[in-house]
Chain A
Amino acid sequence: EVQLVESGGGLIQPGGSLRLSCAGSGFTLTSYWMDWVRQAPGKGLVWVARIKSDGTSTSYADSFQGRFTISRDSAKNTLYLQMNSLRAEDTAVYYCASLPPGAWGQGTLVSVSS
């Protein structure tokens, strides 16, 4: 069974940093393009970043370029999102997803507040 499991969310103060992880089981992350998507409370889905299947290329939504970094560890079959200079408006559930084929994790909540 294909599973993506995010972790690393929590409460963080403004200006802080956090690294989210997304572990794959029954699913080899390096075979697919992988994405991070976020959803603020009561709001819609927002694409954050993407990494190519071979890891040679990354892309970001304009809003996150320079602050967020997507990466992966092939040996651990894990995707990461490093988030720096966090702001209150970064409060959201963060999902990892593989598009295609369309697998999603259950999400991890990041709350930025003093």
Chain B
Amino acid sequence: QAVVTQEPSLTVSPGGTVTLTCGSSTGTVTSGHYAYWFQQKPGQAPRTLIYDTSNKNSWTPARFSGSLLGGKAALTLSGAQPEDEAEYYCLLTSGRGVVFGGGTKLTVL
């Protein structure tokens, strides 16, 4: 199965913009990977922010958006809030199943 890579950690200033990426060892990430993005805070279950590359759930704050960027899936946070500090995981689907990335620890500082 593919290895999915994410930045281990990123820092963003309050009100700032940051982009997290999700790459695949098999090559370019496309819409056919149906990329997901999840947010997880300590002691809590993950929460789905983005599905199928760019679709938002009803509970997803408008400041989060998903896209394909430079051959990877991307999660952009515009106007970071202190409550956005969390671990973020991406997920890619392939014909052989599903693979999570290792997670990005996002600090809002």
- What is the interface of chain B, defined by CB distance below 8 A to chain A? 1, 36, 38, 40, 45-48, 51-52, 57, 87, 89, 91, 96-103
Tell me the complex Cα distance, A47–B66, Å.
Answer: 21
Query: Interface majority SS on A: helix, strand, loop or mixed?
Result: strand
Check B57 against A101 for contact (C-beta < 8 Å).
yes
Check B46 against A100 for contact (C-beta < 8 Å).
no
- What is the interface of chain A, defined by CB distance below 8 A to chain B? 35, 37, 44-47, 50, 59-62, 95, 97, 99-107
Q: Beyond A59-B96, A62-B1, is A95–B45 a contact (Cβ under 8 Å)?
A: yes
**Given the complex, which residues of B lie within 8 Å of A99, measured CB to CB?**
36, 48, 51, 91, 98
Check B97 against A105 for contact (C-beta < 8 Å).
no
Residue of B nearest to A45 (CB): B100
Residue from the list B40, B51, B103 in contact with A102, Cβ < 8 A = B51
